[in-house]
Amino acid sequence: MSAHCKKVVIALLFIVACSSVVKAEDTVIDRKELHIKVQNICPVSGLELGAHGPPVKVVVGEDKEEVYLCCKACMQRQINPDHWATIHQNIATAQRICPVMKHPLPAKASWQIIQGRVVFVCCPPCLEKIAKDPDSHLKQIDSLYSESLLAVSSDGK
């Protein structure tokens, strides 16, 4: 292989490697945006996220659940239990399916915080399965969120 061909191959490999890094960063951005859209409201004020500028990410409770506030001012106030319940209902509605068994979530689904996120399942044994491979299941949940958000936007709601 000539020196010129080697340089071209190295340049192409570099481009492919860089595009992989960009895709990984896009996934993180997409996950954040999905979480914000699914959560929808501030747990303190009840206002729609984004109403007062970019949402502010915080970690709440012993389980270190990641949630978004509508503004920095809400960091100084307490979470409203009614808004908190609405957020969890929004998450369950958007997820709608157990990522392990692929069954619709029951009315009183089991849940756990996995890597800062609320994950709903049809039964407690599914939580053990998720704990063995959380990344794979969180990706599935992101897909479920995306499907739900697309369905809502196509319905005009």
* pLDDT for 157: 53
The answer to whether 68 and 38 have CB atoms below 8 angstroms apart is no
Domain that holds residue 119: 32-155
Residue whose structure tokens are 């399942």: 121
* pLDDT for 150: 87
* pLDDT for 3: 59
* pLDDT for 24: 42
Backbone angle region of 149, left / alpha / beta, with phi > 0 → left and psi within -120 to 50 → alpha: alpha
Residue 7 lies in a domain: no
Q: Do the strands 110-114 and 117-121 form a parallel or antiparallel pair, or are they unpaired?
A: antiparallel
Residue 97 lies in a domain: yes
Residue 79 lies in a domain: yes
Residue 23 lies in a domain: no
Eight-class DSSP state of 109? -
Residue 72 lies in a domain: yes
pLDDT tens series, the chain, 157 aa: 555 544 433 444 444 444 443 344 444 458 899 999 999 999 999 999 999 899 999 999 999 999 999 999 999 999 999 999 999 999 999 999 999 999 999 999 999 999 999 999 999 999 999 999 999 999 999 999 999 998 877 665 5
| Number of domains making up the chain | 1
* pLDDT for 112: 95
Residue 24 lies in a domain: no
* pLDDT for 2: 59
Residue 64 lies in a domain: yes
Residue 53 lies in a domain: yes
* pLDDT for 20: 40
* pLDDT for 18: 44
pTM, two decimal places: 0.77
